[in-house]
Chain A
Amino acid sequence: MKSANYGMYILLFSLLPLLSNGQSAAWEYQLIVESKNQYNHRDKASTVNKGNRMKIDELSSITELYPIVTAGNDWDGLLNTLQAEGNLTNYNFDKDSVRFTFRELYTRFSWKESHHWTVGKKRLDWGTGMLWNPTNFYIQKDPFRTQNRLEGIFQLHYTCLFTTGSLEVYVFPEKKMEDFSYSLKYNYTGERMDASVSFLEYTRYQQAGYDVSYGGDRFIAYAEGVFRNYSRSCRVGKEGELILPRNRTARFYSEIVSGASYAFNASLGARLEYRFREDCLKREEVADFKKYLPQNSIIYDPVSVGKHTLYASAEIKDIYDRFNLQIRTFFDLFSNQLIVSPLFVWKKNNFQIELSSMLFTNSLAVFNSQTALLLSCHF
């Protein structure tokens, strides 16, 4: 669905009530600029990117501008909110490589804080996993930078809040009525824990999901999982042939994420996260995948191609949260893909610098290393 087409309608739809009572409408503006410059040290022996068939440059840059506008108006308990988050992206400082999208563009009506109706493009906030969220069927985070602003999905969303939880109904429209997706989600909050169950009707497929998290004095433990009768992963046949998701045997696949974080003190913390994907490559399939590269490179994932992935990180930070140093590690138990990634973050007022490096240590890797400098500023 072309969200931009709907964007203007939503904008107008929202502005009319806001402007009709303009004196009490509250407008807020924010501008965020992020620039990431990266050095890509290619692995010339890479089997995935033989002869640099992916056409990866040694230096790359991406500059993003996010203008954010929020407006709110209250009529005797009925609150109307408009949120517009634009994104102007430029690649490699090339003037022909500029594009504009709305990351979010929605309007919400809230009745007495208990009932919320949302129409428009909005990010989905499903799941408790820090890096991976199998319940979020629409978009996955970049595990190397989880705080990236993700793209929203066009939706009609109703939430009913209770003191111990909430019930959510989603409709995700598409061009044809038969392609619409629907979802129902129930969230519960209890003593030190919260949990949710969800069911999704995704065109002709179904997905049932759950997530749960528990909070202690110094630690957080969480788990999230889905069972679904579709797959987005390709498989490798015995002869090395690629089996596309739509041709895979119709059956239920599970994907599970579990993790925990621990704060030793104000300066030191650690996190572990594990992901299991039933529809990804088994150990013996990894060998076939490697054997028939680069024809099967569509399966390639820089973090992991196998069923089991482990993530571990340790963080040392200044007690005033002005800077922090993280060491992050990703490991695929079947393909032995190993990535070690140090990250240094320095903050001063509304300005932030991130220096990160990713060191790849496997023949599957496209790079020997990637080093990035990211500058961001909030106004």
Chain B
Amino acid sequence: MKTLFIAIAILYISTNVSVQVTEPDYLALIDKSLYVEYAGIRMEIYKNDKLIKYYKIEFYRKEAKMRMEFVEPAVEKGRRMLNDESNMWMYMPRTSKVIKLPLKQAFMGSDASNRDLMRIEFAKDYDLVGSGQPDGAILQLELKAKNLSVSYNKIEILFDLQRNIPLSQKMFSLSGKLIKTIEYIYKEQPDNILYMSEMIIKDELMGHSFTKMYYENCKRRQNKPDVFFTLGSLKQ
């Protein structure tokens, strides 16, 4: 009787244990894999495979706040951008003036919007509504926007289960039309951490246009204080 009781108890516990096994939080894993607090970025904008323009940018981040400082070309040198989650500003060195920017405006003639580049938090903006496994090591995730303020209503992401990184993503409009695709390329850096080294953003509506972003000297942590990500600091 005692043995039977123990067997039932073990069965009960194991059943509950198996029920409690939950899927990993893929959106948090994606956010974590893309999170860097410092990077040197070279952004190249192409039309019909021809380089139209480029920017060299120093990128700083602290949680959801991001700041970009333009280094090249000479005409843009000293320009700065800041996103503090709900606001976006641009500092113009020639007039020493800061102007506020709309979040959905195109980013400096690129295929990305200000929001694409200055707000990268899937867990905050999207719900995971479906997943499939087209390949043993790759999972396809379907994300739906939590509200209409987000740039894209639906996103599909190919997720590498072995390395816990996103490989590519497709962004869809409210009507279900494919608007943009992003491809992520990674490189292991000397600290043995896998960092995104390249991002290719393609405007599917334009067809012939794409933006490449090369990431260098990525750091998971930097020591800039919180005030570095404020409007007041942007003017200094």
Residue B84 at the A interface, CB < 8 A?
yes
Given known pairs A189-B84, A194-B100, A263-B104, the reply for A113 and B149 (CB within 8 Å) is: no
User: Is B104 a contact partner of A162 (Cβ separation < 8 A)?
Assistant: no
Residue B173 at the A interface, CB < 8 A?
no
Main secondary structure of the interface of A (DSSP, over half): loop
Residue A22 at the B interface, CB < 8 A?
no
Considering the complex, give the chain A residue whose CB is closest to the CB of B203.
A319
Q: What is the CB-to-nearest-CB distance from A144 to chain B, in angstroms, rounded to a whole number?
A: 14
Interface residues as binary, B196-236 with A (CB distance below 8 Å gives 1, 0 otherwise): 00000000001001000000000000001111101111011
Given A113-B233, A216-B102: 12 more A-B contacts, CB < 8 Å: A125-B96, A125-B97, A150-B95, A161-B233, A163-B230, A164-B230, A194-B87, A194-B231, A215-B102, A217-B149, A218-B105, A222-B100
Please, how many angstroms separate the alpha-carbon atoms of A219 and B206 in the complex?
Answer: 24
Given known pairs A194-B100, A215-B88, the reply for A321 and B226 (CB within 8 Å) is: no
Residue B75 at the A interface, CB < 8 A?
yes
Contact of B236 among A110, A218, A349 (CB under 8 A): A110
User: Is B102 a contact partner of A263 (Cβ separation < 8 A)?
Assistant: yes
User: Is B235 a contact partner of A125 (Cβ separation < 8 A)?
Assistant: yes
Q: B206: which A residues are within 8 A, CB to CB?
A: 319
Please, how many angstroms separate the alpha-carbon atoms of A219 and B52 in the complex?
Answer: 27
Given known pairs A161-B233, A166-B232, A194-B87, the reply for A322 and B52 (CB within 8 Å) is: yes
Q: What is the CB-to-nearest-CB distance from B92 to chain A, in angstroms, rounded to a whole number?
A: 7
Residue A108 at the B interface, CB < 8 A?
yes
User: Is B75 a contact partner of A378 (Cβ separation < 8 A)?
Assistant: yes
User: Is B102 a contact partner of A123 (Cβ separation < 8 A)?
Assistant: no
Residue B98 at the A interface, CB < 8 A?
yes
Q: A123: which B residues are within 8 A, CB to CB?
A: 95-96
Contact of B94 among A149, A166, A219 (CB under 8 A): A149
Residue A244 at the B interface, CB < 8 A?
no
User: Which of A112, A194, A320: most chain B CB closer than 10 A?
Assistant: A320
User: Is A189 a contact partner of B92 (Cβ separation < 8 A)?
Assistant: no
User: Is B225 a contact partner of A113 (Cβ separation < 8 A)?
Assistant: yes
User: What are 5 residue pairs bridging A and B, where the CB atoms are less than 8 Å apart in the complex?
Assistant: A110-B236, A149-B95, A162-B232, A189-B231, A321-B109
Contact of B86 among A122, A166, A192 (CB under 8 A): A192
Given known pairs A123-B95, A159-B236, A350-B74, the reply for A319 and B109 (CB within 8 Å) is: yes
User: Which of A124, A189, A191: most chain B CB closer than 10 A?
Assistant: A189
User: Is B105 a contact partner of A263 (Cβ separation < 8 A)?
Assistant: yes
Q: A163: which B residues are within 8 A, CB to CB?
A: 226-227, 230
User: Is A321 a contact partner of B108 (Cβ separation < 8 A)?
Assistant: yes
Residue A266 at the B interface, CB < 8 A?
yes
Interface positions, chain A 135-181, Cβ under 8 Å from B, are 141, 146-150, 159, 161-166
Please, how many angstroms separate the alpha-carbon atoms of A219 and B102 in the complex?
Answer: 6
Please, how many angstroms separate the alpha-carbon atoms of A94 and B1 in the complex?
Answer: 113
Given known pairs A123-B96, A141-B95, A161-B230, the reply for A220 and B235 (CB within 8 Å) is: no
Q: A110: which B residues are within 8 A, CB to CB?
A: 236
User: Is B102 a contact partner of A30 (Cβ separation < 8 A)?
Assistant: no
Q: A213: which B residues are within 8 A, CB to CB?
A: 100
Q: Number of A residues contacting the other chain (C-beta, 8 Å)?
A: 54
Q: What is the CB-to-nearest-CB distance from A88 to chain B, in angstroms, rounded to a whole number?
A: 16
Q: B108: which A residues are within 8 A, CB to CB?
A: 321
Contact of B101 among A113, A194, A220 (CB under 8 A): A220
Please, how many angstroms separate the alpha-carbon atoms of A122 and B54 in the complex?
Answer: 30
User: Is A320 a contact partner of B225 (Cβ separation < 8 A)?
Assistant: no
Please, how many angstroms separate the alpha-carbon atoms of A369 and B56 in the complex?
Answer: 41
Residue B177 at the A interface, CB < 8 A?
no
Interface residues as binary, A269-308 with B (CB distance below 8 Å gives 1, 0 otherwise): 0000000000000000000000000000000000000000
Q: A321: which B residues are within 8 A, CB to CB?
A: 53, 108-109
Residue A187 at the B interface, CB < 8 A?
yes
Interface positions, chain A 216-262, Cβ under 8 Å from B, are 216-220, 222, 261
Residue A75 at the B interface, CB < 8 A?
no
User: Which of B103, B108, B224: most chain A CB closer than 10 A?
Assistant: B103
Q: A261: which B residues are within 8 A, CB to CB?
A: 102
Q: What is the CB-to-nearest-CB distance from B49 to chain A, in angstroms, rounded to a whole number?
A: 14
Residue A193 at the B interface, CB < 8 A?
yes
Q: A166: which B residues are within 8 A, CB to CB?
A: 230-232
Considering the complex, give the chain A residue whose CB is closest to the CB of B54.
A349
User: Is B225 a contact partner of A112 (Cβ separation < 8 A)?
Assistant: yes
Given known pairs A30-B77, A319-B109, A350-B74, the reply for A187 and B232 (CB within 8 Å) is: yes
Residue B176 at the A interface, CB < 8 A?
no
